[in-house]
Structure 1
């Protein structure tokens, strides 16, 4: 295997994928490159030369926690690293986080738009404190979302506020720190103790600006990701390679940093 890790992908149970993908395509006015199944993701990984993919689920209602957890257990393998999801309105939020840890998962995924919350809401501080204490990873959607109105819910300023309140929190800000808010990413997040993942930046942002951000941010806090099935894994990897980054930095981004963060 290549050792390449895609730190941001999505998949659905087979019985759900056939309905979920068309609905999400219509919602975001975007075309999926895969059918949304784990089998489809694994085939894409083989084509792209990707060793492991982190599969991020999103609980849009609190009661989805348990079915997502069960499915995450079922798909977990050497190549698939599932992250279950907690909903901020879950009355058993901290108990469910403890269950995620007890069952050996590496962390959770949350999404401010699909779950309708503000990232820096103080009511989430107990969750962030528990994540920091346990060492579990928190992957968040960062910046605007193509399917929603432009209300600032997970912008670079809110991300920085959370990271400064909880400097030990392993927070991964997707979309290079904030989709379509990259000017603020450069102003507010570069140099901060936040992990930044690359999905949807390589396709939407000028390559020289991506390169500038990557060279300015701590080299050990950068991750390759694609948001598959919404981008093509092989094409995203090629776009990253075309940035002409130093070889050591490219190695860190595509695999070494992800292995360290996952603890394997």
Structure 2
């Protein structure tokens, strides 16, 4: 079985040595790579991963250009990339169009790190323009160790956004809501423009819970993911292997859905 990891993170070499220890301290989570592209690729090869989608995040307006330039530079061989915009940046819509022109596959929004709520008025033009451009948006959904008591992207609000922008393809990371599976099941399952990914799921779901969410939402709308460096392919694969799925469903999740969504061949 081939596996394509739709949710990985890495940093420019000169920043990885500083960024990863800081994030590790904030999140109190173990990491499993050195945070560089090369280190991530080494792990992927060791784990038998056929390729990956790197999700980059602009945490302020000044980072947008450099973050997206790095995404473009990193996109070769079996690594594909999402860019990012900072919702409060004056040129956010212009940067969205540049992301499209650069051939990136979508944008990643991490409302906890970017310090906005997904229902904020300032974010609505981002969704509207991404929908117009045909750019997928991957949201960090649910709780996050960075902001454990304040959920910036709750499943119920994301469900409303999915309804407001029906032609916008949304990836609700962490199976629709980290540590919020009941809310994901109530507000997101069945929405035709919403995909779930399995990133970090082995840390907060058991096999039965994962199985139930997959069957509720449909195996054709679930993407295999790790959230590397925060988790590993062996850990996330073990959870998926333990789920009660058919071989066809496993294949869809492992790589077929990613091929269809992103228009790639794994």
2:157 maps to: 158
Please give the residue correspondences for 1:164-203 in structure 2 after superposition, counting only pairs within 5 Å.
Answer: 164-193=163-192, 194-203=194-203
* CA–CA separation in structure 1 for the residues paired with 2:168 and 2:100: 15
Distance 1:203-1:149 versus aligned 2 partners, 3 A rule: closer
User: Cα deviation per residue 1:28-56 (whole Å; 9 max; x = unaligned)?
Assistant: 01110111111111111112211111111
Q: Aligned pair 1:213/2:175, yes or no?
A: no
Are the equivalent residues in 2 in contact too, given 1:4–1:50 (CA < 8 A)? Answer: yes
- Equivalenced residue count is 263
Cα separation, 1, equivalents of 2:26 and 2:12: 20
TM, length-normalised to structure 2: 0.95
Deviation per CA, 1:100-154, whole angstroms, max 9, x where unpaired?
0011111111111101111122332222111112211111100010121411310
* Counterpart position of 1:52: 51
Instruction: Tell me how far apart the structure 2 counterparts of residues 130 and 66 of structure 1 sit (CA, whole Å).
Output: 18
Separation of aligned partners in 2, 1:163 and 1:138: 11
Q: Distance in 2 between matches of 1:164 and 1:188?
A: 11
Alpha-carbon offset, residue 244 of structure 1: 3.5
Q: For residue 224 of structure 1, what is the aligned residue in structure 2?
A: 224
Deviation at 1:234, TM superposition (A): 2.3
For residues 46-125 of structure 1, the aligned pairs below 5 Å read 46-125=45-124
Q: Distance in 2 between matches of 1:104 and 1:210?
A: 33
Cα distance in 2 for residues equivalent to 1:244 and 1:54 = 26
CA RMSD of aligned residues (A): 1.2
What is the CA distance between 1:3 and its match in structure 2? 4.2
- Show structure 1 runs of 5+ residues with no match: none
Tell me, yes or no, if the aligned pair for 1:5 and 1:52 is still in contact at 8 Å.
yes
Distance 1:158 1:85 in 2: 20
Q: What is the match of residue 243 of structure 2? A: 243
Deviates more, 1:171-180 or 1:240-249: 240-249
- Cα distance in 1 for partners of 2:210, 2:78 equals 28
**2:17–2:34 CA contact under 8 A, matched in 1:** yes
State the shift of 1:21 in Å: 1.1
Q: CA deviation at 1:243?
A: 1.5
**TM-score, length basis structure 1:** 0.96
User: Structure 2: any 5+ residue segments left out of the alignment?
Assistant: none
